[in-house]
Structure 1
């Protein structure tokens, strides 16, 4: 088995159904399996998968393990030498997976590649980054990010000066769509499950780099991300009532303490 495609699902039945239907319609020209880790959804996701996609390996957790825990459960059951970890709102394009796998086959020092992600409106989603400083989450959540200094710092973090048209080594890649060498992930212990949601991808990148692996943003592998931001884009006080925001804050504290 060359590639294991792992979807992490939590109450996103309709998106997952559309994403899988699209995946099998394109049918990548590569030996692959599909695994869906269902984080104890209550929306009938597992039943839908059994009915509509019998070729998919469904792993149902008895509780919500979070992104890191769900991803690790999928990785431990993956047969492929290369693994793709996706949110349910990721839609691949023709040849995107083949491009990523071939690139990794030709560059043995690369542990992970991230595709170019396109928003539903056709705009670029910034999905490769520099490692964050502790002030970055604050700038992105408050009016300070609109100041001249704040905007400059956020733009640098998002790598906005980079055209996003050529392959480039980066610090870390958005966890919602990753293609990685399973042996490299095994070497560093997969995702750190102390992060329930957010920063698990940033933490993993640190550990891969400590082993001298490279992470590459690969725009020739293009995918669509029909996401809805839940933890930024709103005011700090208002967003504090959002469970995703609180999880983000908890993970940020763990991350910056660990990598201080």
Structure 2
């Protein structure tokens, strides 16, 4: 491997995970630069890193800019051919880097790639955040090979392949640096959650490939910064999904799709009400009004895309909850993004 690789871990009060997983990352990443970009932590994370791993490079970000802003600022200061954006709550495995980089080196149009994401708490099964590569239905609901909603498949080697996907997870995201900067990085208005799907969608529209490499595997804890039941996470997921759809859908489908999603979000809030999760209900309402306030600026900034990224033509919500299609191999009509013509 002649190309340079920088492993960049964005940290926010993640000392516990750094203590747990950083030694393993160092052990299995020999020959590659490791960076800790700290998002204004208050738990003395960098002091611990500097004391125990002086060979690791660190940089301090003056304020917590979230995943999107934090990585944008960090990667402006790091020069490398490839970046690996790695969550602090990831356990890597031997030879986790080379298969992915070799795959990306085989085709200059590959902008992003993810490895197999397995669950740290249940290593035989796929993890929620990415699993074996992400897809999205026409209403903006993301799902993965190996994980649809709350159903996680067992890893039986069925996804040990290399495949074009719609989005690659930000939990362990291999990025071609030139493509990342050409796309102007993450949209910082997202702060956190779904910014990697938005970036992958934009990269596809720029004629790049987004891929999955099952020859590499890592284990993800998940929820290291925000637990899935945190209302702040609910707010970001609902708001950012609407922003992403508005930005990336073609003009003729934008308003219709957003209107349908707003309606479906209202229905999902009823489910939260039934469960007594009133903070999440309020989070959805706040997410909608935050999105409405952003529409004027989004109207100015939305680029004219070529819209080449195909979406799953059915509703994954309907397929899962009504038709009982809980596994990826039960779905039909999913076409991966086509490889750009040379």
Interval of TM-score (by shorter of Structure 1 and Structure 2): 0.7 to 0.9
The range that moved more, 124-133 or 176-185, is 124-133
Whole-angstrom CA distance in 2 between matches of 1:101 and 1:135: 29
Which residue in the other structure is 2:88 paired with?
Answer: 88
Q: Which consecutive residues of structure 1, in runs of 5 or more, have no partner in the other structure?
A: 141-153
| Structure 1 residue 75 displacement after superposition | 1.2
Question: Structure 1 stretches (4+) deviating beyond 6 angstroms?
Answer: none
Structure 1, residues 30-72: CA drift from partner, whole Å, max 9, x if none?
Answer: x421111111111111211121121122111121000011111
The answer to whether 1:196 aligns with 2:197 is no
TM-score, structure 2 normalization? 0.63
Question: Which residue number in structure 1 is paired with residue 107 of structure 2?
Answer: 107
2:200 to 197, 205, 212: 205
Distance 2:140 2:182 in 1: 31
Distance (Å, rounded) in 2 between the aligned partners of 1:231 and 1:52: 28
CA distance in 1, matches of 2:163, 2:240: 27
Gaps of 5+ in 2: 249-253, 255-342
Partner of 1:143: none
User: Contact 1:130–1:159 (CA<8 Å) still a contact in 2?
Assistant: no
More contact order relative to length (CA 8 Å, sep ≥ 6)? 1
Query: What do the CA deviations read for 1:192-235 (whole angstroms, capped 9, x no partner)?
Result: 11110111101100111111111111110111112238565x5x
RMSD over aligned CA atoms reads: 2.4
**Which among 133, 144, 167 is matched to residue 172 of structure 1?**
167
Pairwise CA distance, 1:182: 0.3
Task: Trace 1:1-260 onto structure 2 (pairs within 5 A).
Answer: 2-28=4-30, 31-120=31-120, 121-122=122-123, 123-126=125-128, 127=130, 128-134=133-139, 136=141, 155=148, 163-228=158-223, 230=226, 232=228, 234=229, 242-259=231-248, 260=254
Q: Of Structure 1 and Structure 2, which has the larger fraction of its residues in strand?
A: 1
Length-normalised TM-score, structure 1: 0.82
